[in-house]
């Protein structure tokens, strides 16, 4: 069962229109919330007049910052630091607005139309202040006391000075990755109700991290966590963006408490593009020291991460990961990095699929190509000379990320390089590309090697129960954002128990169903919840066999479990089904011995992440007359240790690659000179469609199972995205015959057209 | 993203429809396929007090081939029906080739030819095509009917036509291009289905090895569709050679005055005009 590409359990309801997303949830007497957002990038609120809005029939309430001044700002969920505390976002702007789209007021009305009628009648006056739009430029003022540099950190290993002192070659470069983010098919949303009979606040439409958000909401609203229940419904994509705790979520919960009616909020797309977390937007400056053979002896990096207007739940996560993962698959013994988390008057930022790694892979692989060009060494060869050997595993990087030392658990990097070079027939390909270029075509190859991280701890739990019919229920506190979580958990459980997938239900993201939970982020769900489910399934199997031994009056050693029953080996007629065992384990049954039920619960804890790795290779042709870039081939090799469901892994890679291409070629949150966002609809925020995507050739490998969990699995969510920017840039350089031509993303047709013209002009 | 309140009317006759437009004038908007109007209403960029849905008005959804010299396309003919049309000769080819570029498939299923013309997006394919072919736009109000030349129909301000508030666009009469004509269409957009950054439509009448007449219209370079008159002049009466095509394309790039936006600067658009005109003409002359 493990390793089989079984169809998704989730698909049946989703394809039949039976899915239940947050917008499908309605509660009697609910109010609808509409947010009034700042139209100014930066300024002081001089007045808010809600009189006309309150006069609209059906408008029940209008709140401004003053009404919620008692609610604290939203705290960090991870990678917080004292210095960043003053930069957290209030749920409604307090006196100052800091980005276009910032919540300034909330209107509550009988239906969403009326709420919008009311919202457009709230008059907000702002005395505008000069905005900061380039975080890498001069610092601005966050408020009267604080400037816009929220956090600076340095990580180092080895002796960088010494490495540069003895270097044969020193290269300097600057690279920039633009601002884009995850744009799930389903926008954000929430429905909250305060049940006075049980004094419980119920929050529906939770995603990603329901348990952490329960605790955060309880703290902000002054409620006991046990009286706050978060429930996850179907979720139409997460990508790091959806499910974080945002101002709108807190407002919905608060309004349900204070207004005494259920409150519903469904975000629209225009809001999403200015209000949900943006991401990326980093500028890196680096110096590389190499020996005569192109082996990198020292690397020094300083980068600025444009955090937008506030530091949200992720704290310094993205910058921390960029710093920690920048060296990637290469040995680089001496490394120093300084990250600067700076604010600007743009939408606040957070994580997005391969956070910090999309950026740092672009930077590192650009640098690797530069070393190859500078020293006249083949690009594959220079990478080979720098790869960490499989005999060096586990490999200690010597720096920390997310509170844990970066220790690559396993990897056979050179094997992967060889596999990809064989697959594309590297020498023949480079030769034929050179011939085509000589004949006038602009066609080139890019390579992008990377290490991902996955399976972030510290814990996940899984409880498996069997009812009297034999139905198996796997309950975890982890979450599904649409990635196939239920299928994967069911496969792992089925593999141990031998019951069919149709007999397994998976419950996730319900805070009243499990004591603890983390969630769906950092490619952790399969690793963490999968391991817990594996362990719980083993425990349940043991308990079923022990009970069956008594029921069948046989020795446990003689029993086998298959097809939902336990039988005596060799005599299948002597059997009891799991349902019969469960029924026999009632509370009063002597068989139960005070522990009723066919149930097992296990918790998997770890302080280490594990590290999948991959290599992208793409061949692209450039049309000099329009600047359009088209990939003729795109290969993604990825090692996830062990693929529970290869089809789902491939699906993760394909979807991830589309997002990687988006950031490299299409998606760009640009702002004009006064801080007005220029991409606020899908006409201007260009996500690639199927028509823009090349056919992907996916080489899934299981060369390096993780030694850190019994399944050997590593996370599969982010490898498709990681190296797209690096490969797009490298393929363009190669097509133009201009190493180092691309230093920033996204590369638009207009920029490519200009590069082609300058190439034609200079020969 | 919910529209402001509006009344919805669904007349069953042309007379009733025209009566509603006369009654409500500026307050009314005609709803056909709704692929532009409904999003604009959801953004509250359009706030009609009354929507007059012409879905049930008979006779607007036909492609009329009865007249040998022309084809009349009813206002409510869907993009998809033109993409898969059975109109004979070069006109059918041009409509099919152009239709593929209109939005995405679901948009082409619902959206209408007349709706696109009345909406007058400066980058719309049908507007440029109508302009290139000197189409006749048939308009009607309760007071009577009139015919407007396509190039006069579009104002040089985006989303603006000479259609009066009480007028309904009934249909468009296009010349059936004879076999001496060749047609071409080229468009550049960031993604498949996006509005064009630049598009070019070309229809060229051959006279042996030379070009008798050339008609070239451009989209995405001005407030409305424009004819590339200098380019047409540079080609008409000349031999159909790569040099004359290049001269026409250069003339087109020279005569336009585009404005830039986040998807393409003015200079880039001008360069694209040259490329798109070249490609459209090469198709037309192939």
> A672-701 burial by CB neighbour count: b if 16+ within 10 A, else e?
eeebebebbeeebbbebeeebebebebbbb
Both B110 and B170 in one domain: the answer is yes
- A669 → chain B, closest CA residue: B262
CA of A51 to nearest chain B CA: how many angstroms apart? 19
Burial of B69 (0-12, 13-18, 19+ CB in 10 A): exposed
User: Residue A63: pLDDT above 80?
Assistant: yes
Helices (H), A38-101: 51-54
Mutate to test the interface with B, among A114, A667, A750 (most CBs of B within 10 A): A750
Which two structure tokens, joined as six digits, stand for A49?
């007049």
What sign for the dihedral angle of Cα B62, B66, B71, B72? negative
Question: Dmax of chain B from CA atoms?
Answer: 60
| A597-634: burial string, b at 16+ Cβ within 10 Å, e else | ebbbbbbbebebbbbbbbbbbbbbbbbbbbbbbebebb
Contact B187, B199 (CB under 8 A): yes
The full set of domains in chain A, from first to last, is: 11-20+30-129+187-235+242-275 (3.90.1170.50), 279-388+402-455+608-762 (3.30.365.10), 459-605 (3.30.365.10)
Which tens digit of pLDDT belongs to each residue from A470-520?
A: 999 999 999 999 999 999 999 999 999 999 999 999 999 999 999 999 999
Q: What integer pLDDT is reported at residue A404 of this predicted model?
A: 87
Residue B1 lies in a domain: no
A359-369: average pLDDT: 98
- Mark which of B119, B146, B175 sits at the end of a domain: B175
CA distance A740 to A172: 11
pLDDT < 50 regions, chain B: none
Q: Which chain A residue's Cα is nearest to B192?
A: A691
DSSP assignment of B211-227, as one string?
EEEEEEEEESSSSS-EE
Are both B156 and B112 inside the same structural domain?
yes
Flag if A691 and B188 touch (Cβ within 8 Å): no
* Maximum distance among all Cα pairs of chain A, rounded to whole angstroms: 90
**Other CB atoms closer than 10 Å to residue A225's CB: what's the count?**
14
Q: Count of CB contacts below 8 A, A vs B?
A: 56
- B-chain CB neighbours of A689 within 8 Å are 191-193
Q: C-alpha distances in angstroms, A190 versus A231, A372, A538?
A: 10, 51, 37
Residue A707's alpha-carbon distances to A7, A401, A408, A603, A716, in angstroms, are 28, 20, 11, 18, 16
- Residues in chain B with CB shorter than 8 Å from the CB of A628 are 188
Q: Does residue A403 register a pLDDT over 90?
A: no
CA dihedral A422, A426, A427, A431 (to 10 degrees): 150
* Cis ω for the linkage preceding A203 (within 30 of 0): no
Whether residue B83 is contained in a domain is answered as yes
Boundary residue ending a domain (B175, B200, B232): B175
Is residue B2 one of the residues assigned to a domain? no
Q: Can you give the CATH number for the domain in which B94 is found?
A: 3.30.465.10
Q: Is the same domain home to B230 and B264?
A: yes
Rounded distance between C-alpha atoms, residue A366 and residue A742, angstroms: 9
CATH number of the domain to which B34 belongs: 3.30.43.10
B142 and B206 assigned to the same domain:
no
pLDDT at B156: 86
- Please answer whether residues A696 and A636 qualify as being in contact, where contact means their C-beta atoms are separated by less than 8 angstroms: yes
What was the pLDDT predicted at A763? 64
CB contacts under 8 A, A 660-699 vs B, are 666, 668, 670, 678-679, 681, 683-684, 686, 688-689, 691-692
CA distance B72 to chain A (A): 32
Please count the helices (runs of H) and the strands (runs of E) in chain A: 19, 29
The model's pLDDT over A153-202, given as tens digits with 9 standing for 90+, comes to 999 999 999 999 999 999 999 999 999 999 999 999 999 999 999 999 99
Cβ atoms of A706 and A409 closer than 8 Å: yes
Residue among B2, B44, B264 whose CB faces A750 most closely:
B264
Confidence (pLDDT) at B56 = 97
Residue B260 belongs to a domain: yes
- Shared-domain flag, residues B171 and B188: no
Query: CA end-to-end span of chain B, whole Å?
Result: 47
ipTM over 0.90: yes
Please state, in angstroms and rounded to a whole number, the distance separating the CA atoms of residues A527 and B86.
Answer: 57
Residue A58 touches partner B, C-beta closer than 8 Å: no
How many residues appear in chain A?
763
In this predicted structure, the answer to whether residue A760 has a pLDDT above a threshold of 90 is no
Query: What pLDDT score does A169 carry?
Result: 98
Write out residues 500-539 of A within 8 Å (CB-CB) of B. none
Q: Verify that B93 and B139 share a domain, yes or no.
A: yes
Distance of alpha carbon A516 from alpha carbon A476, whole angstroms: 8
E strand or H helix that includes residue A653: helix A646-661
Reduced to 3 states (helix: H, G, I; strand: E, B; else coil), residue A363 is helix
Of B150, B175, B200, which residue sits at a domain end?
B175
pLDDT 10s digits, A248-264: 999 999 999 999 999 99
Interface membership of A423 toward B (CB under 8 Å):
no
Do residues B38 and B103 both lie within one domain?
Answer: no
Across A277-314, b (16+ Cβ under 10 Å) vs e yields bbbbbbbbbbbbbbeeebbbbbbbbbbbbbbbbbbbbb
CATH of the domain at B274: 3.30.390.50
Asked if B67 and B171 sit in the same domain, the reply is: yes
pLDDT tens for residues A13-45? 999 999 999 999 999 999 999 999 999 999 999
Q: For residue B22, tell me if it sits in a domain.
A: yes
User: What does the alpha-carbon distance between residue A719 and residue A243 come to, in Å, rounded to a whole number?
Assistant: 21
CB of A219 within 8 A of CB of A211?
no
Span A730-746, pLDDT tens digits: 999 999 999 999 999 99
Do B92 and B151 share a domain, yes or no?
yes
Q: Which residues in B lie closer than 8 A to residue A120 (C-beta atoms)?
A: 44
| Nearest residue in chain A measured CA to CA from B264 | A750
CA distance B189 to A47: 43
Number of domains into which chain B is organized: 3
Give A-chain residues touching B47 at CB under 8 angstroms.
none
pLDDT of residue A762: 83
**Is residue B218 included in any domain, yes or no?**
yes
Contact B262 A678 (CB under 8 A): yes
Q: Tell me the two tokens of residue A120.
A: 């457009």
Cβ contacts of A749 on chain B, cutoff 8 Å = 188, 190, 264
The answer, for A751 touching chain B at a CB cutoff of 8 Å, is no
For A493, residues 6+ apart whose C-beta sits below 8 A from its C-beta are A464, A472, A474, A499, A504, A533, A537
> In percent, how much of chain A has pLDDT > 70?
100
**pLDDT attached to residue B225:** 97
pLDDT in tens, A631-659: 999 999 999 999 999 999 999 999 999 99
Q: Do B275 and A120 touch (CB under 8 A)?
A: no
* Residue A478 near residue A508, CB atoms below 8 Å: yes
Contact predicate A167/A734, CB 8 Å: no
Q: Where are the beta strands (DSSP E) in A309-457?
A: 334-343, 395-401, 404-408, 442-451
Q: What is the mean pLDDT of chain A?
A: 97
Question: Least CA distance to B195: which residue of chain A?
Answer: A683
Which range of residues forms the domain containing residue B12?
7-56
What are the tokens at A624?
Answer: 């000099």
Q: Which contiguous run of DSSP H or E holds residue A281?
A: strand A279-290
The strand pairing partners of A545, in sequence order, are: none
DSSP letter for each residue of A178-189: EEE----SS--E
Closest CA to B77 of B51, B54, B103, B101: B54
List C-alpha distances in Å: A439 to A435, A688, B230.
Answer: 6, 31, 34
CA separation for the pair B217, B223 (Å, rounded): 13
Quote the CA–CA distance of A148 and B1 in Å, as a whole number: 33
Looking at residues A587-611, what average pLDDT do you find? 95
Q: At what angle do helices A426-438 and A413-424 cross, to 10 degrees?
A: 50
Residues B29 and B75 in one domain: no
Q: Identify the CA nearest to A249 among candidates A278, A223, A227, A216.
A: A216
Is residue B252 assigned to a domain? yes
How far, rounded to the nearest angstrom, does the alpha carbon of residue A756 sit from its chain's CA centroid? 35
Q: In this predicted model, what pLDDT tens digit does every residue of A612-636 receive, in sequence order? A: 999 999 999 999 999 999 999 999 9
Tens of pLDDT, residues B256-286: 999 999 999 999 999 999 999 999 999 999 9
In a shared domain, residues B89 and B165: yes
H/E stretch holding A231 reads strand A228-232
Q: Are residues B79 and B22 in the same domain?
A: no
Phi-psi sector, B89: left (phi>0), alpha (psi -120 to 50), beta? left
CA separation for the pair A454, B231 (Å, rounded): 59
């Amino acid at each position: 069962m493990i390793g089989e590409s079984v169809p998704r359990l989730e698909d049946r309801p989703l394809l039949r229109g039976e899915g239940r997303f947050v917008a499908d949830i309605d509660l009697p007497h609910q109010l609808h919330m509409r947010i009034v957002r700042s139209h100014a990038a930066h300024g002081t609120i001089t007045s808010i007049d809600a009189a006309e809005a309150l006069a609209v029939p059906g408008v029940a309430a209008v709140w401004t910052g003053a009404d919620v001044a008692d609610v604290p700002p939203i705290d960090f969920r991870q990678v917080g630091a004292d210095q960043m505390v003053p930069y957290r976002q209030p749920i409604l702007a307090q006196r100052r607005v800091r980005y276009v789209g910032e919540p300034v007021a909330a209107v509550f009305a009988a239906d969403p139309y009326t709420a919008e009628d009311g919202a457009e009648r709230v008059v907000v006056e702002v005395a505008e202040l000069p905005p900061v739009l380039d975080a890498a430029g001069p610092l601005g003022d966050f408020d009267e006391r604080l400037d816009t540099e929220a956090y600076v950190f340095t990580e180092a290993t080895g002796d960088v000075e010494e490495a540069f002192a003895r270097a044969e070659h020193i290269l300097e470069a600057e690279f920039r990755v633009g601002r884009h983010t995850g744009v799930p098919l389903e926008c954000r949303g929430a429905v909250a109700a305060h049940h006075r009979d049980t004094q419980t606040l119920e929050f529906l439409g939770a995603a990603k991290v329901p348990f952490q958000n329960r605790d955060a909401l309880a703290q902000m609203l002054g409620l006991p966590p046990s009286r706050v229940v978060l429930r996850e419904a179907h979720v139409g994509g997460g990508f790091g963006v959806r499910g974080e705790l945002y101002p709108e979520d807190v407002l919905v919960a608060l309004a349900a408490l204070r207004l005494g009616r259920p409150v519903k909020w469904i975000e629209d797309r225009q809001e999403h593009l200015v209000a949900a977390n943006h991401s990326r937007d980093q500028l890196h400056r680096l110096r590389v020291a190499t020996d005569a053979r192109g082996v990198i002896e020292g690397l020094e990096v300083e980068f600025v991460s444009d955090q937008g207007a506030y530091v949200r739940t992720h704290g310094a996560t993205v910058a921390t990961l960029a710093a920690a993962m920048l060296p990637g698959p290469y040995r680089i013994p001496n490394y120093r990095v300084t990250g600067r988390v700076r604010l600007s008057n743009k939408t606040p930022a957070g994580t997005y699929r391969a956070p910090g790694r999309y950026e740092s892979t672009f930077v590192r692989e650009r640098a690797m190509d530069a070393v190859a060009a500078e020293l006249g060494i083949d690009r594959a060869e220079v990478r080979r000379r720098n790869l960490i050997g499989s005999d060096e595993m586990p490999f200690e990087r010597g720096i920390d990320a997310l509170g844990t030392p970066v220790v690559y658990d396993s990897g056979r990097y050179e094997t992967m390089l060889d596999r990809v070079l064989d697959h594309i027939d590297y020498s023949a390909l480079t030769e034929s590309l050179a011939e085509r270029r000589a004949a006038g075509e602009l066609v080139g190859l890019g390579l992008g090697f990377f290490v991902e991280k996955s399976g972030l701890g510290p814990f996940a739990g899984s409880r498996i129960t069997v009812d009297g019919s034999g139905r198996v229920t796997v309950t975890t506190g982890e979450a599904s954002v649409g990635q196939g979580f239920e299928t994967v958990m069911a496969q792992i459980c089925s593999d141990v128990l031998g019951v069919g997938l149709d007999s397994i239900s998976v419950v996730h993201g319900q805070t009243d169903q499990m004591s603890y939970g983390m969630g769906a982020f950092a490619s952790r769900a399969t690793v963490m919840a999968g391991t817990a489910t594996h362990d719980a399934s083993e425990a349940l199997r043991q308990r079923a066999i022990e009970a069956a031994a008594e029921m069948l009056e046989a020795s446990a050693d003689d029993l086998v479990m298959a097809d939902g029953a336990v039988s005596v080996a060799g005599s299948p007629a002597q059997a009891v089904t799991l349902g019969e065992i469960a029924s026999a384990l009632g509370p009063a049954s002597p068989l139960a011995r005070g522990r009723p039920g066919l149930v097992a619960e296990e918790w998997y804890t770890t302080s280490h992440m594990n590290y999948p790795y991959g290599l992208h290779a793409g061949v692209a042709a450039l049309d000099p007359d329009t600047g359009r870039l088209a990939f003729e081939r795109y290969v993604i090799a990825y090692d996830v240790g062990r693929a529970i469901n290869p089809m789902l892994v491939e699906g993760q890679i394909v979807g991830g690659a589309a997002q990687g291409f988006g950031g490299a070629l299409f998606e760009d949150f640009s702002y004009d000179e006064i801080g007005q966002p220029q991409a606020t609809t899908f006409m201007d925020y260009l996500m690639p469609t199927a028509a823009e995507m090349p056919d992907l050739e996916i080489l899934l490998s299981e060369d390096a199972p993780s030694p850190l969990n019994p399944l050997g699995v590593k996370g599969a969510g982010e490898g498709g995205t990681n190296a797209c920017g690096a490969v797009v840039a490298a393929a363009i350089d190669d097509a133009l015959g201009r190493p180092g031509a691309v230093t920033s993303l996204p590369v638009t047709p207009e920029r490519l057209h200009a590069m082609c013209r300058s190439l034609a002009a200079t020969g | 993203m919910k529209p402001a309140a509006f009344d919805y009317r669904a007349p069953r006759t042309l007379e009733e429809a025209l009566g509603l437009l006369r009654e409500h004038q500026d307050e009314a908007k005609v709803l056909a396929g709704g692929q532009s109007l409904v999003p604009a209403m959801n953004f509250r960029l359009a706030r009609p007090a009354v929507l007059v849905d012409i879905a049930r008005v008979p006779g607007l959804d036909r492609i009329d081939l009865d007249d040998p010299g022309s084809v009349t396309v009813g206002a409510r003919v869907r993009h998809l029906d033109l993409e898969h049309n059975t109109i004979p000769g070069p006109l059918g080819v041009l409509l099919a080739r152009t239709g593929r570029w209109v939005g995405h498939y679901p948009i082409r299923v619902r959206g209408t030819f007349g709706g696109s013309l009345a909406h007058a997006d400066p980058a719309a394919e049908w507007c440029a095509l109508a302009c290139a072919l000197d189409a006749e736009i048939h308009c009607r109000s309760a007071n009577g009917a009139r015919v407007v030349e396509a190039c006069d129909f579009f104002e040089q301000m985006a989303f603006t036509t000479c259609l009066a508030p009480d007028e309904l666009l009934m249909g468009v009469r296009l010349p059936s291009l004879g076999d001496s004509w060749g047609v071409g269409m080229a468009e550049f957009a960031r993604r498949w289905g996006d509005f064009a950054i630049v598009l070019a439509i070309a229809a060229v009448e051959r006279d042996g090895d030379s070009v008798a007449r050339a008609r070239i219209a451009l989209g995405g370079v001005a407030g409305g569709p424009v004819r590339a008159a200098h380019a047409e002049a540079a080609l008409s009466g000349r031999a159909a050679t790569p040099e004359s095509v290049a001269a026409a394309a250069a003339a087109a790039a020279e005569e336009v005055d585009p404005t830039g936006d986040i998807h393409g600067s003015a200079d880039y658009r001008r360069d694209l005009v040259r490329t798109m005109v070249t490609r459209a003409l090469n198709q037309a002359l192939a």
